[in-house]
């Protein structure tokens, strides 16, 4: 397992370096939607990660936000978001990350999330307490909802905004603060290390949450992920410290 984790960290650092070096430079925009952007650097970062992982593990497959590589029916599958927080990145907001998970059959074995601006690396493997820059982390122990700081994501389409907005409106009155920071993977990492007490989003993709899922659970929290019937390949997620009752 250590070899997988070391390689995942190396890939995350490599992609993170590329993102850091090009941050606040002119970006090539490949696609524009009302509430989303796709950049050339998303693809470049994924190519770098793919090359590194599949050169090291040629029999593995990769399932990423920017496409797939290798035989998707294989047992070992890397789940990759090369740049989570693309809109932040484009607008020069220093809050984005690289997220890499390894799934073996149906179980996530490795999870790595790297914030290249703050140089924060969360990394974990199944059955072990995850680490932030080498130090063990734990979810918060805050049980009182009125004291909680939580993240509610709105995702990126009119449909997901409509699904999340009523939740935000409800939660905002129940907790101390709701935050919408624009990177689901960092939201999960922040729950894992106790900065956030919970993170909720409807209409999220697997690459946004796969690494964070392992981190939160192994840091003592709970993660409830449910496939959406109404949105293809999208999920609803509630990740929390496991002691707070969100009253959902």
Least distance (Å) from ligand IPD to the CB of residue 6? 25
66 binds Ca ion (CB under 5 A): no
Q: Which is nearer to Ca ion, 208 or 217 (CB)?
A: 208
Instruction: Rule CB under 6 A: choose which of 19, 156, 188, 241 binds ligand IPD.
Output: 156
> Do residues 160 and 208 touch, judged by C-beta distance below 8 A?
no
**Number of Cβ atoms within 10 Å of the Cβ of 146:** 9
- The radius of gyration computed from the CA coordinates of the chain, to the nearest angstrom, equals 17
- Nearest residue (CB) to ligand IPD, 138 versus 179: 179
Using rule CB under 6 A, residue 81 touches ligand IPD: yes
Tell me the C-alpha to C-alpha distance, in Å, between residue 116 and each of 15, 177, 180, 181, 215: 9, 26, 20, 16, 18
Q: How far is the CB of 188 from ligand IPD (least distance, A)?
A: 10
Assigned token pair, 117: 């601006």
Among 155, 216, 219, 223, binds ligand IPD (CB under 6 A): 155
CA distance 13 to 50: 13
Neighbour tally for 18: CB within 10 Å: 20
Asked if 84 is part of the footprint of Ca ion (rule: CB under 5 A), the reply reads: yes
Q: Is 208 among the residues that bind ligand IPD (CB under 6 A)?
A: yes
Q: How far is CA 111 from CA 8, 39, 79, 229, in A?
A: 8, 24, 9, 27
> At its nearest, how many Å lie between ligand IPD and the CB of residue 212?
10
> What does 123 interact with, of Ca ion, ligand IPD, none (CB < 5 to 8 A by kind)?
none
> For binding to ligand IPD (CB under 6 A), which residues are involved?
65, 81, 84-87, 153-156, 182-184, 201, 204, 208
């Amino acid at each position: 397992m250590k070899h997988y984790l070391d390689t995942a960290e190396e890939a995350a650092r490599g992609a993170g370096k590329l993102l850091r070096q090009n941050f606040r430079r002119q970006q090539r925009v490949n696609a524009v939607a009302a509430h989303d952007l796709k950049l050339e650097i998303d693809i470049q970062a994924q190519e770098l990660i793919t090359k590194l992982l599949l050169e090291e593990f040629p029999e593995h497959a990769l399932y990423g936000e920017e496409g797939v590589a290798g035989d998707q029916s294989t047992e070992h599958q890397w789940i990759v978001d090369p740049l989570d927080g693309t809109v932040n990145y484009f607008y020069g907001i220093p809050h984005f990350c690289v997220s890499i998970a390894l799934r073996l059959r149906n179980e996530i074995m490795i999870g790595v999330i790297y914030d290249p601006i703050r140089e924060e690396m969360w990394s974990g493997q199944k059955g072990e307490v995850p680490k932030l820059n080498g130090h063990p982390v734990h979810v918060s122990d805050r049980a009182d909802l009125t004291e909680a700081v939580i993240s509610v994501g709105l995702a990126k389409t009119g449909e997901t905004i409509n699904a999340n907005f009523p939740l935000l409106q409800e939660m905002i009155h129940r907790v101390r603060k709701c935050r919408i920071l624009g990177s689901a993977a960092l939201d999960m990492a922040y729950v894992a290390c106790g900065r956030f007490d919970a993170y909720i989003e409807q209409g999220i993709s697997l690459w946004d949450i796969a690494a964070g899922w392992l981190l939160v659970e192994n840091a003592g929290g709970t993660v409830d992920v449910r496939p959406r019937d109404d949105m293809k390949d999208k999920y609803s997620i509630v990740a929390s410290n496991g002691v707070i009752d969100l009253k959902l």
